[in-house]
Amino acid sequence: MTARLIRIDWPDTGIPDLPPPLTLDELRRRLAAVRGAMAARGLAALAVYGDREHFANIQWLTGFDPRFEETLLVVRPDGALLLAGNECLPYTGISPLVQAGDIAVAHCASFSLISQPRKSARLGDLLRDAVPAGGRVGAAGWKYFEAGEVDDPATTLDLPSFLADPLRRIAGEVVNATDLFMHPGYGLRATVDASEIARLEFANHMAAAALRRMVFAFHDGMTDFAAFEAAGIGGLPLGCHATFATGGRAAQGLSGPTGERLRRGSPISFNVCHWGANICRAGWLAEGPADLPEGAQDYLEAFAFPYMAALSDWCSMMRPGVKGGEVWRRMMERLPQDRFGVELNPGHLIGMDEWLSSPVSEGSDLPLRSGMAMQCDIIPGHPVYGSTRMEDGYVIADAALQADLAASYPAVAARCASRARFMRDRIGLDVPETLLPLADSCGIIAPWLFDPSLVIALR
C-alpha cells in the first residue's frame, strides 16, 4: 500500500434533519435496564451523581443534565428521586421521566452555589428518606477503579465526600457501581441503537462542518481567536473545552485559543467537540514540505503517510467480534513507539462524554460489538514531526442494526453509506461494511493546512 497526495473537494453529504428527541419510552426502557442491573447485584438503591463535567450517566438515564450545580438521582426498585439545587430545580422538567411522574424531584439547596439561599430540607434528611437504611447501595459517578490503583476498588467511590459520607452512614454498604453504565464490555451505555446513531450523526455533522469552515479560513498571521470565530459553532453544547494549539503552545495540546497567531512552518492541532462528537485534526501550517523546519521536511513519508496506512488497518478491524487487544497490538506494530509515541488507547467509546471507556487496550480480550460508537482517536506525537490526526466518530453496526437504521432513519443510513464509499473509493481506506462513518470529515487528512484541498490517499 502506497500513499500520495490528491487534490479534492471535501465531501458534503448535506445537512441532517434535526435529531429525534429522547422519548419517554426510551427512557423508561433505560430505567428498567438499570433496575435489572441493580437486582443482579443485590442493590437496594443506586445513587447516580452528576455535575457540569460529569453529567453523561444521569443525562443518559433521565434526559436532564445539571448546570452550575451538582445533582443526585436515587433509583430504587419502587421509585426514583432526583435532587436538584436552586437553579437546576426548574430545569429538571426537561426530563420526560420527571414530566410523567416516573421520577420525583426534591429541592436540595446544598447543591447550589456558595452564598445562594439554603431554603430546603437538609441533604442528610433527604438522603435518609430516599436510601434504604442498612441496605447495599451502589454509587455511580464517572469513574471506577482497577485492582492495583486503589486499596479496595469495590468501595472506592467517585463521589464528593459530602455525598459519600452520609450515604455510608445510612447504608449498610456502599459500592462503586459506575461500571454498570460505563464498562466497555457490559456497561449499559457501551452500545447505541438507531435513534442514538441519528443523534450522534447530527452532532458529528455540526462539529465537522464547523471544523471545515475553520480550516478553509486559515491564513498566515490570523489569530487563533479569528480562526475559531470562522468555525461558526452552531450552539450545540460543547463536550470539552475547545483546543487550538500552535506557535508557543503547540506542545500543549489541550490549550485553547489565547491570541497566538498562525505562522507558516508551525505545527498545529485543534478540535471542535460537541456532546457525542469530537472532530480533531493536526498537521502543519504550510503549503508544502519547503515550509517546514529543517529536519521535518520528510514529514509526509516518515510520519503522515505511515499514519494513514495504519488508520486503514484500524478501520478494517472495526467489526463485531474483533478483540480490543488485537486492535491495540496492530496499531502498536504499525505505529512504533519510538517514532509515533502513541500513549493513549487507539480508539475509545464516545457518548455525551467525549471519552466513555475503551475496549481497546493492551491485552484486552473484550470483543468489539455491534452498536459501539467508536472515536478514532489515535494521537501520535514527535519532537520534530509534530503530529497528524484523523479523529472522527463511527458506529460499528451489524446487518440487523443497519437494517433498523435504514428503516427508522433512511437519510442517516444513506449518508453513512455515502461516506463509507468515499473513504473506500476516493481515499483508499479499508472500510468494512460494518463501519458507519458519522461525519463528512471521515477519511480526510490534510497535512498542509494552508492548502487543505490536498489530502492523503492510499492505493
pLDDT, one tens digit per residue, over 213-223 is 999 999 999 99
Give the Cα separation of 82 and 127 in Å (integer): 11
Give the model's pLDDT for residue 265: 97
Give the model's pLDDT for residue 370: 98
| Closest-CA residue to 101 (of 127, 79, 83) | 79
Q: In angstroms, how far is CA 30 from the centroid of its own chain?
A: 20
**Which residues are paired to 285 by β-bridges?**
266
- Residue ranges in 54-160 assigned as alpha helix (H): 56-62, 96-100, 123-130
Architecture field, domain 44-176:
3-Layer(aba) Sandwich (3.40)
Calculate ∠ Cα 363-365-366, nearest 5°.
125
Q: Over the stretch 50-93, which tens digit does the pLDDT of each residue have?
A: 999 999 999 999 999 999 999 999 999 999 999 999 999 999 99
In a 10 Å sphere around its CB, with 0-12 CB exposed, 13-18 middle and 19+ buried, how is residue 411 labelled? Answer: middle
For CATH 3.40.350, list the domain ranges present in the chain: 44-176
Kindly indicate the confidence band of residue 251, based on its pLDDT and cuts at 50, 70 and 90: confident
Give the model's pLDDT for residue 250: 84
Give the model's pLDDT for residue 241: 87
Q: Over the stretch 97-115, which tens digit does the pLDDT of each residue have?
A: 999 999 999 999 999 999 9
DSSP string computed for 27-64: HHHHHHHHHHHHHHHT-SEEEEEE-SSS-HHHHHHHS-
- Residues of the chain with pLDDT > 90, as a percent, come to 96
Could you identify the residue written with the cell 488508520?
311
Kindly indicate the confidence band of residue 253, based on its pLDDT and cuts at 50, 70 and 90: confident
**Cβ atoms of residues 44 and 29 within 8 Å:** no
Write out the E strands in 86-191.
104-107, 136-140, 173-176
For CATH 3.90.230.10, list the domain ranges present in the chain: 3-17+190-458
Calculate ∠ Cα 97-354-164, nearest 5°.
60
Q: Which of 189-203, 243-257, 337-351, 375-389 has the lowest mean pLDDT?
A: 243-257
Q: What is the mean pLDDT of residues 352-371?
A: 97
Q: Which of 10-19, 134-143, 190-199, 250-259 has the lowest mean pLDDT?
A: 250-259
Q: Over the stretch 300-342, which tens digit does the pLDDT of each residue have?
A: 999 999 999 999 999 999 999 999 999 999 999 999 999 999 9
Would you say the pTM of this structure is higher than 0.85?
Answer: yes
**Which residues are paired to 73 by β-bridges?**
48, 82
Kindly indicate the confidence band of residue 234, based on its pLDDT and cuts at 50, 70 and 90: confident
CATH class of 3-17+190-458: alpha beta
**Cβ atoms of residues 44 and 135 within 8 Å:** yes
Q: Over the stretch 373-416, which tens digit does the pLDDT of each residue have?
A: 999 999 999 999 999 999 999 999 999 999 999 999 999 999 99
Give the Cα separation of 236 and 355 in Å (integer): 18
Query: Does residue 123 surpass a pLDDT of 90?
Result: yes
